[in-house]
Amino acid sequence: MLTEDKSRAKCYQALSLLNSKQIKKAENICRETRSSDAKDVNLLALLGMILVMRGEPAEAVKFLKRAVKNEPDFAKAHQDLGNAYLLLEKYKEAI
């Protein structure tokens, strides 16, 4: 298991790659890090957001739901989850 600082550093690294339009590399970092720290809500939410961006909202929902379950007040994860449901045309769930 990664320490909180290392997990946060990996999250920042993935965000930096995402900002540089290196979406696949950012996704790979999230997936690799998630295997070591499966409960990091920031990582789960970031991976969910990346999957929404890549057009994989059904896969994104799995990660975003876990992020929201582990951190119910995580507004960005709720927003991304709603967006994923909208893309899936699951309007009731998106509310």
Q: How confident is the model at residue 1 (pLDDT cuts 50, 70, 90)?
A: low
As a whole number, mean pLDDT of residues 63-78 equals 96
Q: How confident is the model at residue 39 (pLDDT cuts 50, 70, 90)?
A: confident
**Top-ranked range on mean pLDDT: pick from 8-17, 34-43, 71-80:** 71-80
Q: How confident is the model at residue 95 (pLDDT cuts 50, 70, 90)?
A: confident
Contact (CB, 8 A) for 68 and 81:
yes
Total-model pTM: 0.87
More confident residue, 39 or 47: 47
Q: How confident is the model at residue 60 (pLDDT cuts 50, 70, 90)?
A: very high
User: What is the phi-psi region of residue 89: left when phi exceeds 0, alpha when psi lies from -120 to 50, beta otherwise?
Assistant: left
In order of 45, 46, 80, the CA distances from 86 in angstroms are 17, 18, 10
